Chains A and B, each alone.
Chain A
Amino acid sequence: MAIDILMPALSPTMEQGKLAKWLKKEGDQVKPGDVLAEIETDKATMEVEAIDEGVLAKILVSDGTDNVAVNTPIAILAGEGEDVSAASSAKAPTVPAPETQSAPTPDMQAEGMADRPAPVELPGQAGLSTPAAPSVISSRASYDAMAEIPEGTELVNMTVREALRDAMAEEMRKDQNVLVMGEEVAEYQGAYKVTQGLLQEFGAKRVIDTPITEHGFAGVGVGAAFTGLRPIVEFMTFNFAMQAIDQIINSAAKTLYMSGGQLGAPIVFRGPNGAAARVGAQHSHDYAAWYSNVPGLKVIAPYTAADAKGLLKSAIRDPNPIVFLENEILYGQSFPVPKLDDFTVPIGKARIHREGKDVTIVSFSIGMTYALKAAQELEKEGIDAEVIDLRTIRPMDTDTIVASVMKTGRCITVEEGFPQSGVGAEIAMRVMENAFDYLDAPVIRITGKDVPMPYAANLEKLALPNVAEVVQAAKAVCYR
């Protein structure tokens, strides 16, 4: 059977090119891999190789022809034992696909791909429209976090640090696939003592001191997770995870999608995030907004010890890659934690930390300290604030925020991160999208200032949010 040799494209955007030179002539025997011709564009030259064996029966486009459209037949190859003259007089060949081509989509035009053949369309497949994204709103009802702890449960005070350690230890007892790796997690007992005692209980095989090599050990963790292990990778701080962010995003977050659902990475990246005290710009960055931008990740940032424990346990069991953002200043703070054999908190559910009716304050992690103190101040002035602790940044519990705003009609957000494209910006947008008609005032965001974190004590204080700012914003949206 005669085979058409088509004008190839050098790139997806190429529409035409020059047939510079034929290296074979009519009647030549060709075999796969033989270079038949050279084509040129203003950017590059390329060799046209034979894919099939046969005789070059007829050259349809001669040397030096300009502006040859991609997919134009440029020659005819006669198969073995075929009559060359018959092949060369065969009718003009057909190119697969273009006949059934649908109108180019705007995207294709934008990419300069309008003339590219579209994939063959099957009946019933015409008119591709973008499917709607899954709704972020399900019930318009707030989540009842009280139900997480059965009535009558004994509560014991413990620090966030101890709660995190207990969460890891409990999960490691349950599942041999869980391990901890990071800098100083074993013999030093954790740079911030979060992994204290784990080496003694679980041994060096499962509690692994790594070299100072964030990019490398993050990748090692993800590779191990691909095989089904459940590594907990500790970063001494998330500032250092910048070295590893490629592995977190490109390898951990995207592989499930890129593999069509075959291969996921059940891994937890955890460590302190955001400002500590007087450690300067390179050790104070809050990455909540960054990671929350990435599909394929879950991002958790707890405030209380109970949430730290319950969410970390859930994170370790979760089959997805999780960024678990802790806070150095919160490590030493104590909170009541339920004394239960297996206390977990669901990922993706906010908690109403304080009920109120006049204004909704949404925050997370250490931002909650400002929000709660402000609520106390506001109470003195007769403003009853509802404080929502997001706990999970992604997926964000829009239901709980929206239900609250529908009740209060007012919303402010509090975070230590930078303002632009921050978590507060995202919350404000969701409120506008879902509860615009309920708003009695524009949303106000309280954030860290738009500057690298200064070292000087007075400047650092100015760069961070403060309670007075939150109080002032709450009063502003209440028109007080």
Chain B
Amino acid sequence: MAVAARKAGRAGAGAANKTTSTKGSTRGAAPNSPQFDKNQDLSAYNEMLLIRRFEEKSGQMYGMGLIGGFCHLYIGQEAVVVGMQMATKEGDQVITGYRDHGHMLACGMDAKGVMAELTGRRGGLSKGKGGSMHMFSKEKHFYGGHGIVGAQVSLGTGIAFANHYRENGNVCLTYFGDGAANQGQVYESFNMAQLWKLPVVYVIENNRYAMGTSVSRASAQTDFSKRGVSFGIPGEQVDGMDIRAVYAAGQRAIEHARSGKGPYILEMQTYRYRGHSMSDPAKYRTKDEVARMREEHDPIEQVRRRLLESWKLSEDELKAIDSRVREIVNEAAEFATHDPEPDPSELYTDILL
């Protein structure tokens, strides 16, 4: 509870983003609450709502037995990936761990293909052979979808290495959680990234719990923005429930990486409403804590309020967005329910080229 209260207090106070730099702050203080124009808010609302509704549908389909195995939902964390994606340019890559549906949708991957992969069908993005944790799209520059906690950090650093090698000006956004942040290869990667000035932004999605272990029970240094200090990698703590803060921090971090200054760490302070995976006893946190986050800091609700109050959209207009999003999700679910399973002959394909 103490953790949650602190978190809630910080987010509620709209605290300024804090920059950690080994040589003292190299920039002026980050703006308190960067503003979005109407189009940005609209776009953010659309994208986040799509993820929210998609994930709710996934949870439902899991409950119906249409999705098997593991299924890690992104509900609550939508502002992180959508805000970061708004700060990228064409060609920038994304790689993440297993809580990846939101990242794929934000990268523009087809909702039908994602959902059909969740149900293990031939129309899935990996032909039904990858599952919830393993989808990829070269076209959308999405490199997975990795199930070994922390492995994507080295891989993302390698993608950044390739950008550097090719001098193509692209930046790799490498996402991982507060749990993965304690893996050894993360620091091996930090070291090489800073040593070689690789264009990579490490986005630590701190949702307060590594599975069921709270940050304070697993981490000696709970300020994840400082995890790069001994390598000289600058970092910031960002209110990951406020998409404007995410976007602004994303722009700073990506610009830093793109300009040849090397890696940058963003600790996104966020929250997952659902369990770690679908079978989660939820004994490690109180319902109050979850409820308070949903009621007071919901990333979508924040934008919705702005759309109504600042941009004077009507409830009907929002409802229209809602039904469009729902239509996409329902269509995806429909496809994923009726698309056939992979042909048995697929068992022995795609092992080697």
Interface residues of A (CB under 8 A from B): 6-12, 14, 32-33, 43-46, 48-49, 51, 70-71, 95-97, 116-117, 119-122, 125, 128-131, 133-134, 179, 205, 210-211, 213, 215-229, 246-247, 250-251, 255-264, 295-296, 298, 319-320
- Rounded to whole angstroms, the CA-CA distance of A33 and B301 in the bound complex is 12
Q: Which of B125, B185, B188 contacts A260 (CB 8 A)?
A: B125
Known: A43-B281, A211-B192, A219-B185. A119 touches B136 (CB 8 A): no
Whether the pair B144, A223 counts as a contact (CB closer than 8 A) is no
Which residues does chain A contribute within 8 Å of B155, judged by CB atoms?
219-220, 222-223, 226, 247, 251
Whether the pair B52, A45 counts as a contact (CB closer than 8 A) is no
Q: Which of A128, A217, A263 contacts B192 (CB 8 A)?
A: A217
- Number of residues on chain B facing chain A (CB within 8 A): 79
- Rounded to whole angstroms, the CA-CA distance of A12 and B53 in the bound complex is 22
Which residues does chain B contribute within 8 Å of A224, judged by CB atoms?
158-159, 161-162, 165
CB distance from B337 to the nearest CB of A (A): 6
Known: A216-B157, A218-B154. A8 touches B60 (CB 8 A): yes
Whether the pair A215, B188 counts as a contact (CB closer than 8 A) is yes
Encoded as 1 (CB less than 8 Å from any A CB) or 0, chain B from 147 to 182 comes to: 110010111111111110110000000000000000
Q: Output the residue of A117, A257, A259 with the most chain B CB within 10 A.
A: A259
Known: A119-B121, A258-B126. A211 touches B188 (CB 8 A): yes
Which residues does chain A contribute within 8 Å of B338, judged by CB atoms?
120
Known: A33-B52, A223-B156. A205 touches B165 (CB 8 A): yes
CB distance from A127 to the nearest CB of B (A): 10
Known: A250-B147, A259-B134. A223 touches B158 (CB 8 A): yes
Which residues does chain A contribute within 8 Å of B345, judged by CB atoms?
131
Known: A44-B279, A215-B154, A320-B353. A210 touches B192 (CB 8 A): yes
Which residues does chain B contribute within 8 Å of A258, judged by CB atoms?
126, 129-131, 134, 136, 144-145
Known: A117-B66, A222-B155, A227-B162. 9 other contacts (CB 8 A): A9-B64, A32-B53, A71-B65, A217-B154, A221-B158, A222-B154, A256-B350, A258-B136, A259-B134
Q: Which of B19-70 contact A (CB under 8 A)?
A: 52-53, 56-57, 59-60, 62-66, 68-69
Considering only CB atoms, which chain A residue lies closest to B153 in the complex?
A219
Known: A9-B62, A97-B337, A210-B192. A261 touches B165 (CB 8 A): no
Encoded as 1 (CB less than 8 Å from any A CB) or 0, chain B from 287 to 306 comes to: 00000001000000000000
Considering only CB atoms, which chain B residue lies closest to A12 in the complex?
B68
Known: A11-B278, A251-B146, A263-B136. A229 touches B127 (CB 8 A): no
CB distance from B25 to the nearest CB of A (A): 28
CB distance from B67 to the nearest CB of A (A): 9
Q: Is B108 an interface residue (CB 8 A)?
A: no
Q: Which of B134, B136, B154, B281 contacts A247 (CB 8 A)?
A: B154
